[in-house]
Chains A and B, each alone.
Chain A
């Protein structure tokens, strides 16, 4: 083996790896559990939200962990990094609503004619989280993150059911935004900050970026045998 070639036993210097994960051109030679765990641990320790304040960020951690709870199937939204995922999405064109038609007038109509509010995702989160905290204090006398899981579930159920208005935002609209982005954070490639350790994909049995099933079009109902790989080369 050439002396300078990185191997799993003698990995690349950490700073080099840090510089490359998250770029899509980087493809690790292979992966290992140790790499996965150390990178995930580092992500948890070092991530500082840039759009949300700490209270909002903690709300996202708690709410995503009720929408997608930790259970016998595997980890929940908090451990999977959903809050980081959503925070990072707020800095993208999506967060700014740049692909939505946002010209007025804004006029409400039947639900089946779709979203008609003048708010982009960044507005929906800022106003929606504040609205949920107000609702939580009114109903339970505490902020959302201080409530027991069963009470958090009651609030989420009320939002989903459409009976709660969060200031300018219908509770149902905020719930759907939060549910959609939570599930994206659970199952998107980890380069966006969620799906830590590829654990979302492991639960589903999705092999990630393999994108080659030449021999697997039909194996008579057998489970696909190879675990997932991410775009940056992380495996699980």
Chain B
């Protein structure tokens, strides 16, 4: 049995874990947060100039999961043998204190309200037959109105910069006309448009669309948040995604929550602690705590707890549920079970536009969360009837600071040279005079796209790797092609001298070798029916009621927006219901 008892144990020191730890200590609970990676603070590991070293940072992947210890296997279809993801490329999960919340960009969206009830919304407009065979389209079981106070709370913790459209029913600014009502404005004024973003804003407007500034958890000015944690103004240094911000400008658990939490005697953080399993009692209906391995001493420790919060990265949460026996594993053949079901991604392609050679886009200037977007082709904001697909994409210029190694290794291809003198000419011209436009789209869930345990490969601790079965489906390919076609008139209005519009093609399998996005989702989704969701609408396991599972694993579909804002709101939503209801009477918050 356990050596030590705490009220709550939290797995993972990213946004989800840190938010729950803050909320539960505020409620008077003793909390231990276990993080399998190393300790990280801005003043040590994030200090300038080491923090802005591209080779050490994004190229050698300092802040990302060390695959030598644990990875996943991947296949495109059920009849293939999944093979290990041996080198980080397509997606980059975080590791260490702060998790992916330390190396993220900072794009901080709320949610398109209709994405929360996408199944209902599609059926209301187009009928049930509109949903393709094999697509597991589902509602979240929670509404925007219910989540609004928690989006608001998260923005005030993150120090989010933005421009509102509507506050308490009144149009207040030049924000996103498709965005829902807000109870209060952004805590910080909008970030400046980079030159590239301003060109996109003007062109999108002239093409008849509705450009808005991306909401950014990059501080546009000095800010002290709800917890007394301080941020400094962003200087557009361009080292957000893949780096820890040396200026305290990009929100992270390390900057915005942990400085307050670390002072609380009820809280303790244990780094280098790899959780092997959630321990269950003989009924398999109650968790008794967790067992973790100190990765330096290799010593196993069991910690007993009344409440277990899984706040690891999306697929690591699913892995822990599977290896611990929480809930029933999903089986795509019999279409039963829920853990591993509705594994989703995002459908993202990046196009490029060249401006005249007298114009310098200075792509190294940028902020990860800043940019200008349009939502005219996102969510349910346009008529899908004649198009015959579900989903959509925001389109944006999000100049986040293009570094030279990333620019050089990604340059060439598609019929143009990848080395030699002609490559050098093109690389230099592209670096100086072009800009990128992304279609950052949704990805639907399908019966034969899922997560389970691999039968062959194991991690460094002897546990089976998680297996992903994933490829692109016709619905999402057609959505991507449609939205990318809308970029052309915008590029023309920019005065493009050349453009390279990139979209997915039919039959194109998911390629693990090229970075696409780290916005993985689903696998342990929230919902209203225990037959089709692993978690209830409070992110509580239907099967083991003292386990809550927080993260993008809860998303039934991959949304067009970046997921962190939604994860943070769900974390505060869950915490609120634990504090106000669960702690008074522990047990299921929804009867199955």
Contact-residue bracket for chain A? 35 or more
Is B373 in contact with chain A by the CB < 8 A criterion?
no
Pairwise interchain contact B419-A156, C-beta atoms closer than 8 A = yes
Q: Which residues of B contact A206 (CB under 8 A)?
A: 364, 403-404, 431
Q: Which residues of A contact B419 (CB under 8 A)?
A: 66-68, 156, 160, 179
Pairwise interchain contact A219-B195, C-beta atoms closer than 8 A = yes
A216 to B236, CA, bound (A): 8
Most buried by A among B76, B86, B246: B86
Q: Which residues of B contact A160 (CB under 8 A)?
A: 418-419
| Minimum CB distance partner of B514 in chain A | A112
Is A102 in contact with chain B by the CB < 8 A criterion?
yes
Stretch of A5-13, A40-48, A133-141, A182-190 lying at the B interface: A182-190
Pairwise interchain contact B235-A101, C-beta atoms closer than 8 A = no
Query: Which B71-95 residues have C-beta < 8 A from chain A?
Result: 71, 74-76, 80-89
Pairwise interchain contact B432-A187, C-beta atoms closer than 8 A = no
A67 to B424, CA, bound (A): 9
Is A34 in contact with chain B by the CB < 8 A criterion?
no
A181 to B405, CA, bound (A): 10
CB distance from B445 to the nearest CB of A (A): 21
A192 to B404, CA, bound (A): 15
Given the interface pairs A156-B419, A213-B238, A217-B236, the reply to whether A204 lies near B85 with Cβ below 8 Å is no
Pairwise interchain contact B512-A204, C-beta atoms closer than 8 A = no
Most buried by A among B71, B82, B362: B362
Pairwise interchain contact A218-B428, C-beta atoms closer than 8 A = no
Is B53 in contact with chain A by the CB < 8 A criterion?
yes
Is A3 in contact with chain B by the CB < 8 A criterion?
no
CB distance from A112 to the nearest CB of B (A): 4
A214 to B359, CA, bound (A): 20
Q: Which residues of B contact A218 (CB under 8 A)?
A: 192-195, 198
Pairwise interchain contact A216-B365, C-beta atoms closer than 8 A = yes
Pairwise interchain contact B361-A24, C-beta atoms closer than 8 A = no
B 38-56 to A, binary, CB cutoff 8 A, 1 in contact else 0: 0000000000111011110
Given the interface pairs A24-B50, A94-B60, A213-B236, the reply to whether A100 lies near B364 with Cβ below 8 Å is no
Pairwise interchain contact A211-B49, C-beta atoms closer than 8 A = yes
Is A20 in contact with chain B by the CB < 8 A criterion?
no
Pairwise interchain contact A231-B50, C-beta atoms closer than 8 A = yes
A123 to B48, CA, bound (A): 34
A222 to B365, CA, bound (A): 12
Query: Which B465-522 residues have C-beta < 8 A from chain A?
Result: 509-513
- The A contact surface, by secondary structure, is loop
Q: Which residues of A contact B80 (CB under 8 A)?
A: 109-110
CB distance from A20 to the nearest CB of B (A): 14
A192 to B59, CA, bound (A): 13
The residue from A66, A102, A112, A184 contacting B509, defined by CB atoms under 8 A apart: A112
Pairwise interchain contact A212-B237, C-beta atoms closer than 8 A = yes
Pairwise interchain contact B509-A204, C-beta atoms closer than 8 A = no
Is A49 in contact with chain B by the CB < 8 A criterion?
no
Stretch of B61-69, B205-213, B305-313 lying at the A interface: B61-69
Pairwise interchain contact B428-A73, C-beta atoms closer than 8 A = yes
Given the interface pairs A189-B55, A205-B431, the reply to whether A102 lies near B86 with Cβ below 8 Å is yes
Q: Which residues of A contact B424 (CB under 8 A)?
A: 68-69, 71, 73, 203
CB distance from A118 to the nearest CB of B (A): 10
Is A148 in contact with chain B by the CB < 8 A criterion?
no
Given the interface pairs A100-B68, A160-B418, the reply to whether A114 lies near B457 with Cβ below 8 Å is no
Is B275 in contact with chain A by the CB < 8 A criterion?
no
| Minimum CB distance partner of B234 in chain A | A214
Pairwise interchain contact A103-B237, C-beta atoms closer than 8 A = no
The residue from B83, B361, B458 contacting A221, defined by CB atoms under 8 A apart: B361
Is B408 in contact with chain A by the CB < 8 A criterion?
yes
Is A15 in contact with chain B by the CB < 8 A criterion?
no
Given the interface pairs A211-B48, A213-B236, the reply to whether A224 lies near B362 with Cβ below 8 Å is yes
Is A107 in contact with chain B by the CB < 8 A criterion?
yes
Is B6 in contact with chain A by the CB < 8 A criterion?
no
Is A19 in contact with chain B by the CB < 8 A criterion?
no
Pairwise interchain contact B54-A189, C-beta atoms closer than 8 A = yes
A220 to B193, CA, bound (A): 11
CB distance from A156 to the nearest CB of B (A): 7
Given the interface pairs A66-B420, A223-B362, the reply to whether A204 lies near B55 with Cβ below 8 Å is no
Query: Which A197-236 residues have C-beta < 8 A from chain B?
Result: 200-201, 203-207, 209-214, 216-224, 231
A189 to B54, CA, bound (A): 8
| Minimum CB distance partner of A212 in chain B | B235
Given the interface pairs A99-B68, A192-B55, A207-B364, the reply to whether A67 lies near B420 with Cβ below 8 Å is yes
CB distance from B427 to the nearest CB of A (A): 7
Is B355 in contact with chain A by the CB < 8 A criterion?
yes
Given the interface pairs A114-B86, A231-B50, the reply to whether A217 lies near B55 with Cβ below 8 Å is no
Is B146 in contact with chain A by the CB < 8 A criterion?
no
CB distance from B64 to the nearest CB of A (A): 8
CB distance from B186 to the nearest CB of A (A): 18
Pairwise interchain contact A101-B54, C-beta atoms closer than 8 A = no
Q: Which residues of B contact A187 (CB under 8 A)?
A: 54, 404-405, 408
Pairwise interchain contact B360-A224, C-beta atoms closer than 8 A = yes
Pairwise interchain contact A214-B235, C-beta atoms closer than 8 A = yes
Is A153 in contact with chain B by the CB < 8 A criterion?
yes
Q: Which residues of A contact B359 (CB under 8 A)?
A: 221
CB distance from B259 to the nearest CB of A (A): 23
Is A116 in contact with chain B by the CB < 8 A criterion?
yes
Pairwise interchain contact A221-B355, C-beta atoms closer than 8 A = yes
Is B281 in contact with chain A by the CB < 8 A criterion?
no
A97 to B53, CA, bound (A): 20
Q: Which residues of A contact B510 (CB under 8 A)?
A: 112
| Minimum CB distance partner of A223 in chain B | B360
Pairwise interchain contact A115-B360, C-beta atoms closer than 8 A = no
The residue from B195, B238, B427, B456 contacting A220, defined by CB atoms under 8 A apart: B195
A191 to B54, CA, bound (A): 12
Pairwise interchain contact B83-A109, C-beta atoms closer than 8 A = yes
The residue from B49, B52, B67, B431 contacting A100, defined by CB atoms under 8 A apart: B67
Pairwise interchain contact B428-A71, C-beta atoms closer than 8 A = no
| Minimum CB distance partner of B355 in chain A | A221
Pairwise interchain contact A113-B512, C-beta atoms closer than 8 A = yes
Is B239 in contact with chain A by the CB < 8 A criterion?
yes
| Minimum CB distance partner of B356 in chain A | A221
Pairwise interchain contact A99-B195, C-beta atoms closer than 8 A = no
Is B383 in contact with chain A by the CB < 8 A criterion?
no
Is B416 in contact with chain A by the CB < 8 A criterion?
no
B 352-378 to A, binary, CB cutoff 8 A, 1 in contact else 0: 000100111110110000000000000
Is A105 in contact with chain B by the CB < 8 A criterion?
yes
Given the interface pairs A116-B83, A153-B420, the reply to whether A103 lies near B457 with Cβ below 8 Å is yes
Q: Which residues of A contact B405 (CB under 8 A)?
A: 183-184, 187-188
Is A163 in contact with chain B by the CB < 8 A criterion?
no
Given the interface pairs A105-B456, A204-B407, the reply to whether A209 lies near B52 with Cβ below 8 Å is yes
Q: Which residues of B contact A67 (CB under 8 A)?
A: 419-420
| Minimum CB distance partner of A85 in chain B | B55
Pairwise interchain contact B365-A114, C-beta atoms closer than 8 A = no
A 104-127 to B, binary, CB cutoff 8 A, 1 in contact else 0: 010101111111100000000000
9 A-B pairs besides A100-B87, A204-B432, A213-B236 with CB distance below 8 A are A24-B53, A69-B424, A112-B509, A112-B511, A201-B404, A206-B404, A212-B237, A214-B233, A218-B195
The chain B residues found within 8 Å of chain A, CB to CB, are 48-50, 52-55, 59-61, 66-68, 71, 74-76, 80-89, 192-195, 198, 233, 235-239, 246, 355, 358-362, 364-365, 403-405, 407-409, 418-421, 424-425, 427-428, 431-432, 456-458, 460, 509-513
